[in-house]
């Protein structure tokens, strides 16, 4: 082996020794090295470009937009080419055959769901944009071949899952759901109880068995070969199980993340690992490690905190939180978002928002047609886990009820997310102004379906072409703001960020420095707000240009922000005109 592969083998060995006894770790290392050396990417992986201000991620199901007689993945590509060419990165939610949870109960990791299309369609989507794949590594469908092996007591699957006596004390285990942790399964050996963190259809894999790790590493490498530039580690916080602990964020879990980063950086330099850990903020940050785990972590605090800010018309909490944020380790950034295929998670507000305020926010969302999902606590009680509602309809009003500002409030919320330090991500329904899909909830019986509408292309296009529809207003204005962001170095993911505290109704953030500096001001209230430009710029010799409107503001005058107005201010000499 070359010096490079020798070093790689040593690094993989160190990862494996955290997980398994020395002799097992040595064998595991050799077999991983064999997988690497047999990969088409071995010594041939091209390096990917670093993220910049031009990069914006779209989150979409393969069938979020459908057209009669066409594979949904092909429809998605056609829609993106025609209506969202600004998108540089695409997260296609699980596109494998599945048995439940809209894709996250995977039956076959290496097959494309025939209802969506073929691998060729995935590769074609990746020709003009970077792709994020879901690596659903914590659990697998009970309809999978591996679990069929378990039921029949056949290798290899018979040893791929965690079987425990029914009366095992699992009260310490942190749960994201309210149903029992151990699912009863009828097998040839009688009823067995297996570990199922999320649902009885999603059976957790046993990474204590190195064969499971090796099988999943093989799949991980194949995803890189198929064009994944970003790999999303779904529900990774629950990966390693050890009775007597909370079975979340265990050291072995972090080591698996480090191992996958090592593999991705060697096989596809520039590819990125992102961890999906919907937990309190400090726990979420732990997946940066020392700059050796995830390249990106979801900023899970943003969706509920921006929602709270807009619902209350007060930016104080958001301002204080943003000012307290420590910068990520070098080479690591936040993935900023307001909405995703899941609900608006509430765990990230723990320690930030009092319980009575969370309850009040939930009541407001229920008034706007939303629901709340619960999770089980160790003491046997349940507590709110997420709000189920589209982010567009979550902006229907304030704590006082619905009002006329829904579109403006929504655009303000999305634009606020767009300017923060990190990589911005839009759920496709946020770029389409999609309302609550109550019909979807009725059909599926699942609360999350409210935010997973499947648009007919023939229904959607006329709504986008008209000027007076909410869908058109939202879509075209967000595209315009995305395009403007892509032209400004101040919005590079790693450009400096400074948050100001000048008014309870305003959220103010400065991005960049010197000539590139842009100060973004957001009125989060349903009334006009005035702001002294001299106070903001600390100078009476400078004026500013609002890049969103191209309007020049003299330093001698106060800024007047209408309800939910956003300004991107670039300081200029006071007598400068902007063309």
Report the CATH number at residue 505: 2.60.40.1180
Structure tokens at 311: 């619902």
Strand order in the sheet with 371-376: 344-345, 382-388, 371-376
Encode 377-400 in three state secondary structure: CCCCCEEEEEEECCHHHHCCEECC
Q: Which residues are annotated as a binding site?
A: 101, 139, 232-234, 341-342, 448
Strand segments (E) across 410-563 = 423-427, 455-456, 497-500, 506-511, 518-523, 529-532, 542-546, 551-553, 558-561
Is residue 137 a contact partner of residue 216, using CB atoms and an 8 Å limit?
yes
Residue 551: inside a domain: yes
Q: Following DSSP, what letter does each residue of 14-40 receive, concatenated? A: HHHHHHS-HHHHHHHHHHHHHHHHTST
Residue 364: inside a domain: no
- The runs of H, that is alpha helices, within 242-354 are 251-267, 281-285, 302-312, 316-324
Residue 168 DSSP class: -
SS3 state of residue 301: coil
Residue 556: inside a domain: yes
Identify any residues that bridge with 333 across adjacent strands, giving them in sequence order: 296
Q: 316: how many CB neighbours lie within 10 A of its CB? A: 14
Is residue 185 a contact partner of residue 192, using CB atoms and an 8 Å limit?
yes
So what's the pLDDT on residue 379?
76
So what's the pLDDT on residue 579?
37
> Which domain covers residue 514, as residue numbers?
497-573
Q: Which residues are annotated as a binding site for substrate?
A: 101, 139, 232-234, 341-342, 448
State the Cα–Cα distance between residues 321 and 285, nearest whole angstrom: 14
Q: 551: how many CB neighbours lie within 10 A of its CB? A: 11
Is residue 8 a contact partner of residue 266, using CB atoms and an 8 Å limit?
yes
Residue 237: inside a domain: no
Q: Following DSSP, what letter does each residue of 512-528 receive, concatenated? A: S-GGG-EEEEEE-SSS-
Q: How much is the pTM? A: 0.95
Structure tokens at 454: 């499947």
514 backbone dihedrals φ, ψ, rounded to 5°:
60, -135
Residue 513: inside a domain: yes
The domain tally of the chain equals 1
So what's the pLDDT on residue 578?
44
Is residue 432 a contact partner of residue 393, using CB atoms and an 8 Å limit?
no
Structure tokens at 25: 């770790």
* Residues involved in catalysis: 234
Residue 548: inside a domain: yes
Residue 501: inside a domain: yes
SS3 state of residue 402: strand
State the Cα–Cα distance between residues 261 and 277, nearest whole angstrom: 16
- The most distant pair of C-alpha atoms in the chain lies apart, rounded to whole Å, by 84
Residue 549: inside a domain: yes
Per-residue pLDDT for the chain (579 aa), expressed as one digit of tens each? 578 899 999 999 999 999 999 999 999 999 999 999 999 998 665 677 899 999 999 999 999 999 999 999 999 999 999 999 999 999 999 999 999 999 999 999 999 999 999 999 999 999 999 999 999 999 999 999 999 999 999 999 999 999 999 999 999 999 888 789 999 999 999 999 999 999 999 999 999 999 999 999 999 999 999 999 999 999 999 999 999 999 999 999 999 999 999 999 999 999 999 999 988 889 999 999 999 999 999 999 999 999 999 999 999 999 999 999 988 999 899 999 999 999 999 999 999 999 999 999 999 999 999 999 988 777 778 889 999 999 999 999 999 999 999 999 999 999 999 999 999 999 999 999 999 999 999 999 999 999 999 999 999 999 999 989 999 999 999 999 999 999 999 999 989 999 999 999 999 999 999 999 999 999 999 999 999 999 999 888 889 999 999 999 998 889 999 999 999 999 998 765 543
């Amino acid at each position: 082996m070359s010096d490079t592969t020798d070093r790689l083998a040593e690094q993989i060995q160190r990862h494996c020794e955290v997980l398994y006894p020395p002799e097992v770790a040595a064998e595991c290392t050799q077999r991983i090295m064999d997988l690497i050396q047999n990969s088409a990417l071995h010594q041939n992986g091209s390096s990917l470009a670093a993220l910049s201000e031009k990069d914006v991620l779209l989150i979409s199901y393969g069938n979020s937009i459908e057209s009669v007689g066409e594979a949904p993945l092909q429809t998605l590509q056609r829609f993106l080419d025609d209506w969202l060419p600004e998108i540089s990165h695409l997260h296609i939610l699980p596109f494998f055959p599945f048995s439940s949870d809209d894709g996250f109960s995977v039956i076959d990791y290496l097959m494309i769901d025939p209802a969506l299309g073929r691998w060729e369609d995935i590769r074609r989507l990746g020709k003009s944009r970077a792709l994020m794949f879901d690596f659903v590594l914590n659990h697998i469908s009970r309809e999978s071949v591996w679990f069929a092996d378990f039921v029949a007591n056949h290798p290899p699957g018979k040893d791929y899952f965690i079987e425990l006596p029914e009366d095992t004390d699992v009260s310490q285990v942190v749960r994201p759901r309210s149903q029992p942790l151990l699912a009863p399964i009828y097998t040839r050996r009688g009823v067995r109880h297996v570990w199922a963190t999320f649902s009885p259809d999603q059976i957790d894999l046993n990474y204590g068995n190195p064969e499971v790790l090796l099988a999943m590493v093989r799949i991980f490498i194949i995803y890189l070969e198929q064009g994944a530039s970003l790999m999303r580690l779904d529900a990774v916080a629950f990966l390693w199980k050890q009775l007597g602990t909370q079975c979340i964020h265990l050291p072995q879990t972090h080591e698996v993340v480090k191992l996958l980063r090592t593999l991705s950086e060697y096989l596809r330099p520039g590819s990125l690992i992102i961890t999906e850990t919907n937990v309190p903020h400090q726990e979420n940050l732990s997946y940066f490690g020392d700059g050796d785990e995830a390249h990106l972590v979801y900023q899970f605090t943003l969706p509920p905190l921006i929602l709270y800010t807009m619902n209350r018309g007060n930016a104080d909490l958001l301002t204080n939180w943003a000012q307290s944020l420590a910068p990520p380790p070098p080479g690591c950034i936040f993935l900023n978002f307001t909405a995703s295929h899941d609900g608006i998670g509430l765990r990230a507000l723990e320690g930030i928002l009092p319980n009575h305020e969370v309850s009040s926010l939930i009541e407001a969302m229920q008034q706007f047609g939303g629901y709340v999902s619960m999770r089980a606590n160790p003491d046997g009680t349940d507590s709110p886990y997420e709000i189920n509602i589209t982010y567009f309809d979550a902006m229907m009003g304030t704590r006082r009820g619905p009002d006329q500002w829904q579109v403006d409030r929504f655009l303000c919320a999305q634009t606020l997310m767009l300017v923060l330090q990190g990589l911005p991500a839009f759920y496709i329904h946020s770029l389409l102004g999609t309302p609550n899909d109550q019909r979807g909830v009725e059909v599926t019986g699942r609360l999350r379906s409210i935010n997973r509408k499947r648009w007919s292309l023939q229904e959607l296009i006329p709504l986008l072409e008209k000027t007076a529809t909410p869908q058109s207003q939202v879509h075209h204005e967000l595209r315009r703001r995305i395009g403007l962001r892509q032209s400004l170095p101040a919005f590079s993911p790693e450009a400096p960020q400074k948050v100001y505290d000048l008014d309870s109704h305003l959220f103010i953030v400065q991005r960049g420095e010197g000539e590139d500096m842009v100060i973004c001001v957001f009125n989060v209230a349903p009334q006009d707000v005035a702001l002294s430009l001299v106070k903001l710029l600390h100078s009476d010799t400078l004026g500013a240009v609002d890049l969103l409107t191209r309007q020049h503001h003299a330093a001698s005058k106060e800024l007047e922000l209408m309800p939910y107005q956003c300004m991107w201010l670039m300081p200029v000499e006071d007598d400068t005109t902007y063309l």
